[in-house]
C-alpha cells in the first residue's frame, strides 16, 4: 500500500486535512514536523535558532527516510520539504504526492502565532513565489483547498482512486 504525501505552503491545511482524510480512509497520519520534534526531543524553532536551518534540513531528510519506510500512511510534510529534490525522491519511492494549493489570502487570514514567517503578507507572497513551481512540479495530484474540509477530503479521495 502506497503512502499519501501532503505537500504545500505553511498553513495550507496539510495537518488538518491530513487528519480528516486519515479518519475517513483509516490510514494513520504522521506529521513530519511533529515526528522530528518527538525524535529529537526539541522544538523546530529552537533547532532553527540554536543549530541553524541547514541542520534542521538534514534532520528533516533523515526522518522523511524513516517515514517513507512505512506503508499505507499519510505523511503531512513540512512546508519546506520541497526545497531538496532528495526529499521528494525519497517520498515518491512509496508515495503519491498531493499538493494542497490554498490561496495566499486564505493562508494569511489564519492565526500565525506559531508561524512567525507568515505574519507578514509580503513574506507569504515571497515564500509562495519561491516555492510554487516546486510544489507544482513534484505533485502527482494538485488539489485546490478552496472549500470546506469535507469537500476537500472527498476531492482527494476521488483523485487518489486507482493510484494507491
Ligand X SMILES: Nc1ncnc2c1ncn2[C@@H]1O[C@H](COP(=O)(O)OP(=O)(O)OP(=O)(O)O)[C@@H](O)[C@H]1O
Ligand Y SMILES: O=C(O)C1=C[C@@H](O)[C@@H](O)[C@H](O)C1
* 4: phi then psi, degrees, rounded to nearest 5: -110, 120
Tell which one of 4, 5, 7, 12 touches ligand X (CB under 6 A): 12
Draw the binding track, 81-100, toward ligand Y (x: CB under 6 A; -: no contact).
Answer: --------------------
Tell which one of 78, 100, 102, 135 touches ligand Y (CB under 6 A): 78
CA torsion 68→6→117→58, rounded to 10°? Answer: 10
Using CA atoms, how far apart are residues 111 and 104, in angstroms rounded to an integer? 13
Q: Which does 12 bind (CB under 5 to 8 A by kind): ligand Y, Mg ion, ligand X, none?
A: ligand X
- 115-154 residues near ligand Y, rule: CB under 6 A: none
Using CA atoms, how far apart are residues 162 and 138, in angstroms rounded to an integer? 19
Does position 11 bind ligand X by CB under 6 A? Answer: yes
Does position 37 bind ligand Y by CB under 6 A? Answer: no
Does position 16 bind Mg ion by CB under 5 A? Answer: no
Tell which one of 7, 79, 95, 138 touches ligand Y (CB under 6 A): 79
Tell which one of 6, 8, 10, 87 touches ligand Y (CB under 6 A): 10
Q: Give me the residue whose beta carbon is nearest to ligand Y.
A: 78
At 96 the three-state DSSP class reads strand
Question: Looking at the DSSP assignment, which residues form a beta bridge with residue 96?
Answer: 4
DSSP percent split of the chain into helix, strand, coil, nearest 5:
60, 15, 30
Surface-to-core class of residue 161, CB atoms within 10 Å of its CB (0-12 exposed, 13-18 middle, 19+ buried): exposed
Tell which one of 15, 25, 104, 131 touches Mg ion (CB under 5 A): 15
Residues that bind ligand X (CB under 6 A): 8, 10-16, 33, 76, 79, 110, 115, 145, 148-149, 152
Amino acid at each position: 500500500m502506497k503512502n499519501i504525501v501532503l505537500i504545500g505552503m505553511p498553513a495550507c491545511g496539510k495537518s488538518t486535512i491530513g487528519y480528516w482524510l486519515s479518519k475517513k480512509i483509516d490510514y494513520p497520519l504522521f506529521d513530519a514536523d511533529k515526528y522530528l520534534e518527538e525524535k529529537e526531543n526539541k522544538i523546530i524553532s529552537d533547532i532553527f535558532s540554536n543549530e541553524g536551518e541547514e541542520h534542521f534540513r538534514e534532520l528533516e531528510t533523515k526522518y522523511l527516510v524513516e517515514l517513507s519506510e512505512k506503508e499505507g500512511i499519510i505523511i503531512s510534510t513540512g512546508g519546506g520539504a520541497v526545497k531538496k529534490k532528495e526529499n521528494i525522491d525519497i517520498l515518491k519511492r512509496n508515495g503519491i504526492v498531493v499538493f494542497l494549493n490554498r490561496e495566499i489570502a486564505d493562508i494569511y487570514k489564519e492565526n500565525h502565532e506559531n508561524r512567525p514567517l507568515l505574519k507578514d503578507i509580503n513574506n507569504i507572497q515571497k515564500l509562495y513565489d519561491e516555492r510554487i513551481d516546486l510544489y507544482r512540479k513534484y505533485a502527482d495530484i494538485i488539489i485546490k483547498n478552496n472549500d470546506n474540509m469535507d469537500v476537500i477530503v472527498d476531492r482527494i479521495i476521488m483523485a487518489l482512486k486507482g493510484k494507491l
